[in-house]
Amino acid sequence: MNNMKLIVMENCKELGEKVDEHLKRMNHNGSYIASISNERFSNGEGKIKINETVREKDLYIITDIGNYSQYYKMHGQPHYMSPDEHYQDVKRVISATCGGASKITLIMPLLYQSRQDKRKGRESLDCAIALQELEQLGVNTIVTFDAHNPGICNAIPKLPFENFYPTHIILEKFIENETEDIGNLLVFAPDMGATERARYYAEMLGCDMGAFYKRRDLSKVVNGKNPIIDHVYMGPDIKGKNAIIVDDMIASGQSMIEVAELLKDKGAKNIYLVATFALLTEGVENFVKAYEKGIFTKLYSTNLSYVPEKIKKERWYCDVDCSYQIAQIINYLNNKKSLAPLYNGKKDILDKIERVMVKCE
C-alpha cells in the first residue's frame, strides 16, 4: 500500500481524515494523506501545489463540491465557494500532478452538476461535459454516491464510473436506533423519480411501498421549475403504519415535508425522512417547525456532503458516517479486487433485521 496517496481537499477535510484513519488500521500503516497548499490571489484567482512527490503513486482525490462553508478573500471581501469553484480546484490538483501519477481516482460523493444531467432545448449539459473533461485530464476512475441519474455514465463509456449507495449503512443506523418501529413499516417515494430507490429500501426491509406523483402547473415557471399543484398518492393503506420517505437529496426540503404532512393526514404514526445528501438549501426553519408539530420523527442523512455542526446536534437529525465505506472502496481498488461485494449489503441488513425481530418477540 506504499504506492498509494490520498489528496484530501479542504472542503472535506473531516471526512478525508476519517477515511485515512480507517486505511491506517486496515493496512497497519502510517498516514496516506499527501500535503497540498491551496493559495488565492487577491482578485480570486487560485493555484494548488502538491508539497511532496506523487510520481508513480496511485492517487485518490476526495472532494465535496457541495461544501458551502468554504470561502476566500476576493478584493478584500469574503467570497463563499460554489460547486463550480470546488470543481475548478479538482482540476487544479490534477494539473499539479504534472502527469506523474500512476493512476488517478476521483472520489466525488456528490457528483458535480448531477441535476443538470440531461438537456431540454437550448440548455447546457454540464454533468456530461465535466465527466468528459475529467477523462481528458487523466482521471482513470470516478467514484460517486447515489448519482441523481446513474445513466450519466454513458457520457464516458470508456471510463470506470462507480456509483455506490449508502443504503445499507443508513439502514444499519436506522435499525440500531428505531428497533421498535421496523416491524410495521412502509417505504415511500416522494415523487416518481425516486421509486427505484424506494423499492430497493423496501426490498431490504422486506416491506411494501407507496409513491407520490407530483402534479405540476406546466403553464408557470418559478425558480426554474414548474410549481407543484398536488401530490397524488399511489399505494397501500397507511393508517397505523410507520413510514420512511427516501430520496437521493433534500434541497429545500419543502416537497418532502409536504409528503410527510400528507402521510400524517392519512394516519401514519412515526415518519422518518432519509436522504443521501441533506443540502438544506433554504435553511432548517421548515424542518424545525415540522418536527415541533410532530410531522416527522427524524431525518437520516450522511456525512458525504457538508452539513453544519449546529444541524448535526438537532434532536431530529441523525448523521450517518460513510467514511469506512469509502476506505473499503479505496482498499479494494488499490488491491485490484472486485468491487462487487461492496455494492450490496442486503444480506447483512436482513440478518440484522432478523436478530432485532427475534429480540422483540
200-233 burial, b for 16+ CB within 10 Å, e for fewer?
A: bbbebbebebbbbebeeeeeeeeeeeeebeebee
Render pLDDT for 264-316 as a digit per residue (tens, 0 to 9): 999 999 999 999 999 999 889 999 999 999 999 999 999 999 999 999 999 99
Mean pLDDT of 192-212: 89
- Beta carbons of 75 and 22 less than 8 angstroms apart: no
State whether 145 and 277 are in the same domain: no
332 lies in some domain: no
Q: Contact 327/22 with Cβ under 8 angstroms?
A: yes
Q: What is the pLDDT of residues 57-82, one digit of tens each?
A: 999 999 999 999 999 999 999 999 99
**Within-domain flag for 359:** no
Look at residue 348 and tell me if it is in a domain: no
CATH number for the domain that contains residue 72: 3.40.50.2020
Is there a single domain that holds both residue 211 and residue 222? Answer: yes
Position 347 scores a pLDDT of: 61
Cα 312 to Cα 310: distance, rounded to the nearest angstrom:
6
3-class secondary structure per residue, the chain: CCCEEEEECHHHHHHHHHHHHHHHHHHCCCCCECCEEEEECCCCCEEEEECCCCCCCEEEEECCCCCCCCEEEECCEEEECCHHHHHHHHHHHHHHCCCCCCEEEEECCCCCCCCCCCCCCCCCCHHHHHHHHHHHHCCCEEEEECCCCHHHHHHCCCCCEEEECCHHHHHHHHHHHCHHHCCCEEEEECCHHHHHHHHHHHHHHCCEEEEEEEEECCCCCECCECCEEEEEEECCCCCCCEEEEEEEEECCCHHHHHHHHHHHHCCCCCEEEEEEEECCCCCCHHHHHHHHCCCCCEEEEECCCCCCHHHHCCCCEEEECCHHHHHHHHHHHHCCCCCHHHHCCHHHHHHHHHHHHHHHC
Q: Please count the CA atoms within 13 angstroms of the CA of 52 that sit on its side-chain side.
A: 11
Beta-bridge partners for 162: 143
Cβ–Cβ < 8 Å for 95, 87? no
Considering the domain boundaries, does residue 284 fall inside one? Answer: yes
Give residue 344's pLDDT: 66
pLDDT of residue 215: 74
> pTM of the prediction?
0.91
Identify whether residues 180 and 156 lie together within a single domain: no
Nearest to 32 by CA among 56, 61, 11: 61
> CA-CA-CA-CA torsion for 223, 128, 141, 135, nearest 10 degrees?
-130
In a domain, 336, yes or no: no
Domain-ending residue, one of 130, 164, 198: 164
3 state SS for 57-76: CEEEEECCCCCCCCEEEECC
The residue among 119, 143, 164 that closes a domain is 164
Q: Is 87 found in the same domain as 149?
A: yes
Predicted confidence (pLDDT) per residue in 221-249, tens digit: 766 666 677 778 888 999 999 999 999 99
Q: Rounded to whole angstroms, what are the CA distances from 361 to 165, 183, 202, 266, 358? A: 31, 11, 22, 28, 5
User: What pLDDT shows up at residue 290?
Assistant: 95
Q: Which residues contact 197 (CB under 8 A, 6 or more apart)?
A: 146, 189, 246, 247, 248
Residue 350 lies in a domain: no
171 and 299 assigned to the same domain: yes
Distance of CA 154 to the CA centre of its chain: 20
> Which cell is 177 given?
436506533
- pLDDT tens digits for range 172-186: 899 989 877 777 899
Cβ–Cβ under 8 Å, residues 173 and 223: no
101 and 49 in a single domain? The answer is yes
- Which of 140, 164, 188 is a domain's end point? 164
**296 shares a domain with 175:** yes
Q: Is residue 132 part of a domain?
A: yes
Q: Which one of the listed residues 214, 241, 264, 298 is annotated catalytic?
A: 214
User: Is 269 domain-assigned?
Assistant: yes
Query: Do 116 and 198 share a domain, yes or no?
Result: no
| Residue 264 belongs to domain spanning | 167-321
Is the pLDDT at 359 greater than 80? The verdict is: no
Query: Same domain, yes or no, for 187 and 102?
Result: no
User: How many structural domains comprise the chain?
Assistant: 2
One domain for residues 316 and 186:
yes
> What is the per-residue pLDDT for 1?
62
Residues whose CB falls within 8 Å of the CB of residue 38, separated by 6 or more in sequence, listed in order:
9, 10, 46, 47, 48, 89
CA angle 253, 196, 266 (to 5 degrees): 55
Does residue 123 share a domain with residue 251? Answer: no
Dist. CA 249–CA 66, nearest whole Å: 12
Task: Report pLDDT for 275.
Answer: 96
103 is catalytic: no
Are residues 153 and 123 part of one domain? Answer: yes
